[in-house]
Amino acid sequence: MIFRQLFDQASSTYSYLLASRAGGEALIIDPVLEKVDRYLHLVKELNLKLVKAVDTHLHADHITGLGALRDHTHCITIMGEQTKADVVSMRLADGDKLTIEGLSLDVIYTPGHTDDSYSFVLPDRVFTGDTLLIRGTGRTDFQNGDPRQQYESLFGRLLKLPDATLVYPAHDYKGDTVSTIGEERVYNPRLQVTSVDEYVDLMNNLKLPNPKMMDVAVPANMKVGLVQEEIARRGWALPAAEALALLGKPDIVLIDLRERSERERHGTIPNALHVPYPALQESIRSGGILHELAKSTSKRLLFYCAFGERSAMAVQAAQDAGLTAACHIGGGLDAWKKASGPLVR
């Protein structure tokens, strides 16, 4: 596995770049906006293809690099389903898998620092966000934080991992880089409590000042979405209600860009083809199935995904590949559901 721990001094944030092999797909966890050029350079140097960028939670102390990485690489942006961020391409829930080529991370919901905090688990390591820090835990006094929930996330979830599991947090302010679950169980002062009430008491009396960047970072991080208006302005977006009226029409081909797990959980629009977003480029280039389908039958390609982010990027890519009738469902399946569009499972 290729693994890089990257550091932003200004916010003491750790970001993590993962891939299973040189030349393969890569994932980045908790990227920081100011460091995006550095990440892109490293991705190039290591000959990787960045396909996913994920935040463990909505950060209050730095602006996320998710939007900028998506704009540069067309990667998928990911957060938990509780996030207040306006639009990310994909939302995860407890029990899901976060996958790229050759790597599969277990997704566990670990609220408490915020109500959208998640941890990501590999067999030998866990990315804990701000839920569990090295010799500390993330504060619980804003962004719907809750020390009771955090106690459960720590003692009920993270500390149940094997003692040898490496702990990679989203921050460290003292220069530590990695710990283990066993080490934190014994030496983390916040974990030496004997009851949930004692933990709540401890967390409610920290009296910490708000992060310097909070008033800037939180609003900015709630607006990471791709500007779908530009695609709409060019006439390449259909509102869900209009798309609904086209359902079953012979000159339309619906294409679902989501992953299998999203299709299973949320259902699919009837008779849609499944072309996962990572396979898109291959299928729209000359000789690819969607390219040939569109060219030989004059059918209109109507892309959709979860929230309209991947499909907006797909429309642009299809247009670039000469498929001028390509369009998408603005707002994705989320908007489709709100328009009472039918779904099959």
d(CA 344, CA 269): 6
Task: Give the torsion sign (CA, 111, 114, 120, 124).
Answer: negative
CB closer to Fe ion, 13 vs 188 = 13
Number of residues binding to Fe ion, judged by CB under 5 A:
1
CB closer to Fe ion, 130 vs 259 = 130
CB closer to Fe ion, 60 vs 313 = 60
What single string gives the DSSP state of each residue in 307-321? SSHHHHHHHHHHHHT
Question: What is the residue type of 255?
Answer: I
Residue nearest to Fe ion (CB): 130
CB closer to Fe ion, 130 vs 172 = 130
Least distance in angstroms from the C-beta of 114 to Fe ion: 6
Least distance in angstroms from the C-beta of 50 to Fe ion: 23
CB closer to Fe ion, 25 vs 116 = 116
CB closer to Fe ion, 130 vs 262 = 130
Asked whether the beta carbons of 303 and 275 are under 8 A apart, the reply is: no
Least distance in angstroms from the C-beta of 117 to Fe ion: 8
Beta strand segments in 241-316, E: 252-256, 273-274, 300-304
Least distance in angstroms from the C-beta of 297 to Fe ion: 50
Cβ-count burial 195-215 (b if 16+ within 10 Å, e if not): eeeebbebbeeeeeeebebee
Least distance in angstroms from the C-beta of 170 to Fe ion: 6
Spell out, one character per residue from 120 to 159, where the chain touches Fe ion: x when CB under 5 A holds, - when not: ----------x-----------------------------
Question: What is the residue type of 237?
Answer: A
Alpha-carbon distance values, 241 to 144, 231, 305, 310, 329 (Å): 34, 17, 16, 20, 9
> In this structure, what token pair is assigned to residue 248?
């079953």
Least distance in angstroms from the C-beta of 237 to Fe ion: 34
Interface contacts to Fe ion, rule CB under 5 A: 130
